[in-house]
Amino acid sequence: MPMSDDNPPPTMALDSSATECPVVQETESGQKLLQFLQRRLNLPQAMLHRWVRTGQVRINGCRCKPFSRVQAGDLVRLPPFAIKMAAQCDDPLPAPARKPRNSEDAASGPPLPPLIGSSGYLWAFDKPAGLPTHPGTGHEDSLTTRLARHFASASFMPTPVHRLDKETSGILLVAASYAALDEAQRALRGQRMVKEYVAWIAGRWPHERTCLVRHFLRKDAVRGFEKMCTVSADVADGKEALCLVRPLIVDDGASLVQVRLLTGRTHQIRTQLASLGHPVLGDAKYGQARPGSPLYLHALRMILPDGAAFASLPPWTGARAVAALPDPIACGDGLPSPPPLLCGVFPLGGEGATIPPLH
């Protein structure tokens, strides 16, 4: 269900989810049957798999497989007890997957973040700092749970295409159909979607123009907490992390930089900048900030493969305010090609690399 840029997302109501022969809606088209059943019934996967395998679930009257694709208009026959079982099932899946059924919950719960634009079934929200993308230990409120509350009757619950760290603000894409979700995630994996950030970092950024920054990252457990670290290129489980960094404001105390991600690793920007000696201001995990400090990292812009673009300025005030939207970082054919085992900062234009220490 596409949204206009001027209207908030309406609540979807599709009564077919309460029948023993639900009709596949346009928003659900293209899913695997098992995914369709899990979203509609919210029952354990093993149970649904068994129903399909034994012929109790059929598509348009024909036997099918769990990974058959459903299309808009398909009639999916369910066992006569399926709907009742789904209604009575007590928390069959983790809390993030559960969808409130009371429409009054949407009005009484926290609001959705501001909607800044849409393109078909893709919606762009301006996520505030402090709101997680998904719920977790100690924080049940999240964008995902708010979407579930506001779209409790939807045949396909709008789903975040990617994630932002809890303390990172800015643009976050949400897909309102399975096809939009699948295509957007494919575009991200294929690097056909532009993601840019702005960040205030500690110290004077030493490079005058846009640079390619390259590291290899690995996830480690440090005192019970997951944390990314840089490793040598020859470490087996190290994953290449690439980004472009452009200085916007440079000062001895702090610098404002614009970052375009070329890969999508966990905490990539925070890890790479910290490894260069310039952690993001307010970063208690990778820098020296106190816990609870505001993180000066903002998802500034996203550009879709079709050219549709979404942008938002960070909410920072005072000396850290960003008054104007910078132009996108150009990424043509002029990117340097570092040797396979070399990490560091590579100025665009063929100059030699600045090699940082790897920790």
Task: Name the catalytic one among 74, 126, 165, 283.
Answer: 165
Task: Tell me which residue of 263, 260, 210, 273 sits closest to 239, measured CA to CA.
Answer: 263
Task: Identify the helix (H) or strand (E) that includes residue 53.
Answer: helix 45-53
At residue 50, φ and ψ (nearest 5 deg) are -65, -40
Q: Under a CB-based contact definition with an 8 Å cutoff, are residues 300 and 311 in contact?
A: yes
Residues forming beta bridges with residue 344, ordered by sequence position: 214
Separation between Cα atoms, residue 214 and residue 125, nearest integer Å: 30
Is 165 assigned a catalytic role? yes
Task: Tell me which residue of 346, 60, 301 sits closest to 196, measured CA to CA.
Answer: 301
CA 326 to chain centre: 23
Give CA angle at 332 (326, 336), nearest 5°. 105
What would the two tokens of residue 332 be? 């043509």
What would the two tokens of residue 131 be? 């709101």
DSSP 84-139: HHHHH--S-S-GGG-----THHHHHSPPPPPEEEEETTEEEEEEPTT--SS-BTTB
Q: Under a CB-based contact definition with an 8 Å cutoff, are residues 270 and 285 in contact?
A: yes
Separation between Cα atoms, residue 274 and residue 253, nearest integer Å: 15
The structure tokens 């919210």 sit at 42
Catalytic residues: 165
